Structure 1
Amino acid sequence: MTTAQDLLTIALEPQPERSVGQGDLSLSLAGAELIDLLRAQAIDLDGDLIVPGPQQAMEDPSLDAAAAALLRQLPFEQVEDWLWRRGRDLAAAYQTSFEEDGLLTRARRGRLSLGAERMELADTPARRLARTRWEEGEPVLAALAAAVGIHRGEGPRDDADPGSEAVTTVLAAVNDAVMELEAVRQRRTIENSAFANVWRVP
């Protein structure tokens, strides 16, 4: 399982305290892909610019798609720009992949709601491995989940080391993008409320 697949698995586990927004999750999944590409040495970062390495086959179709989506000509793409471009509808794409692979099935009694159809995670070795990684507090997975509002019971570890400066750069960009998306939502809510109030004035 890739980091993005583990993240989606954790996001799809029942979360009584809140639901995860598709836009937030898509941005975090795009960040997870970048981190896996960094670890596979398929890319490097020059500051916040994504520098592609030699093209290589990845061990996962979604990572192959991510690598194929890299901009390989100057000027190279900034991490934040990648998150917005690659992240567009990415959660839905991963959900479809999970369904095709039998990792996500129609819920008999319905515990999770994704769009109009209620789905639940199948009990698979991949799900159990993701849960183990989560319960062990793997720093990158914990940081990506925290960006979309999912926290482990005992809270985040302040001393957790994500592994490298490049990974830290990606995680910071994910947090910034999610906060920007939330700011857009709040602004639209205020604008819609103001517009609605115009029609209530006697």
Structure 2
Amino acid sequence: MSTARDLILVVLGLPAERPTAQGDLSLALAGAEAIDLLEKGMLTLDGDRMVPGPEPTTGDRLLDAAAASLTRREPYDTVAEWLWRRGTGLAAAYAGDLERDGLVRQPRGHFGFRYGDTVLVDSPAHRAAEARRADREPVLAALLAATGIEGESDEAVESLSGDAVTTVLAAVGDVVTQLEAVRLRRDVEHAAFDNVWRA
């Protein structure tokens, strides 16, 4: 299983009262894909620039799509640029992929991904993802922390070897923070607009 699939299986297995914003999850999934590509030798980093490697197929449709989406001409994408681009709608894509594989079910008559509506099927894949979470595997722990599911992941990140993985995790944290700032600004603007109409 890929890190991204483990991440979404853990998130979908959470109680409905602990929702995760789809945007945050999508960005973390893109980060998980980048880390899997690094580990497979399909990607290297030059500073924070993503330098694509060979494009062998992995057997994972979404991970292959992630590899294909890497910019293959200089200047290469920064990690943050790629996370924003690749992360668009990625949570829904993974939920759909899990549904095709029989790992989740949608309620009858429901289309699209809405957190809390998706029913996770008990499966070896889900149990393996939960075991990885219970073991506090550093990459998964850091990604869960970035989405606000787990607590701070400083200890997990410190135990990682490799600057490239640490760079990706730091970029995930940064873009999730930026997304939250955009949400807050939008909320303030909407509140101000509502106040003008009430006045």
Q: Shared topology, TM-score over 0.5?
A: yes
Q: Which amino acid aligns with 1:46?
A: D
In structure 1, distance between residues paired with 2:159 and 2:144: 15
**Per the alignment, do residues 69 and 92 of structure 1 end up closer, same or farther by CA in structure 2, a change over 3 Å counting?**
same
Q: If the length of structure 1 is used for normalisation, what is the TM-score?
A: 0.90
Per-residue CA deviation, residues 109-140 of structure 1 (Å, 9 max, x unaligned), is xxxx9429822110010001001101001000
Contact 2:12 2:115 survives alignment (8 Å): no
Q: Which amino acid aligns with 1:43?
A: L
Q: Which amino acid aligns with 1:60?
A: D
1:171 is matched with 169
| RMSD, matched Cα | 2.0
**Per the alignment, do residues 148 and 116 of structure 1 end up closer, same or farther by CA in structure 2, a change over 3 Å counting?**
closer
Distance apart, 1:60 and its partner CA: 1.2
1:158 aligns with 2:140: no
Q: Structure 1: 5+ residue runs without aligned partners? A: none
Q: If the length of structure 2 is used for normalisation, what is the TM-score?
A: 0.92
1:136 aligns with 2:135: yes
In structure 2, distance between residues paired with 1:121 and 1:150: 18
Distance apart, 1:15 and its partner CA: 3.5
In structure 2, distance between residues paired with 1:14 and 1:70: 31
Counterpart secondary structure, 1:150: coil
In structure 1, distance between residues paired with 2:53 and 2:198: 58
Give the fraction of aligned pairs with identical amino acids, expressed as a percent: 52
Per-residue CA deviation, residues 44-81 of structure 1 (Å, 9 max, x unaligned), is 00000001112212131111111111111111110000
In structure 1, distance between residues paired with 2:154 and 2:76: 33
Counterpart secondary structure, 2:41: coil
1:197 aligns with 2:171: no
Q: Which moved more, 1:128-137 or 1:53-62?
A: 53-62
Q: Structure 2: 5+ residue runs without aligned partners? A: none
1:34 is matched with 34
In structure 2, distance between residues paired with 1:106 and 1:72: 37
Counterpart secondary structure, 1:93: helix
1:121 is matched with 120
Distance apart, 1:17 and its partner CA: 5.6
In structure 2, distance between residues paired with 1:34 and 1:47: 14
Distance apart, 1:18 and its partner CA: 2.7
**Per the alignment, do residues 53 and 20 of structure 1 end up closer, same or farther by CA in structure 2, a change over 3 Å counting?**
same
**Per the alignment, do residues 188 and 106 of structure 1 end up closer, same or farther by CA in structure 2, a change over 3 Å counting?**
same
Q: Which amino acid aligns with 1:64?
A: D
Counterpart secondary structure, 2:105: strand
Q: Which has the higher helix share?
A: 2
In structure 2, distance between residues paired with 1:196 and 1:117: 29
Within 5 Å, which residues of 2 pair with 1:13-32? 13-15=13-15, 18-32=18-32
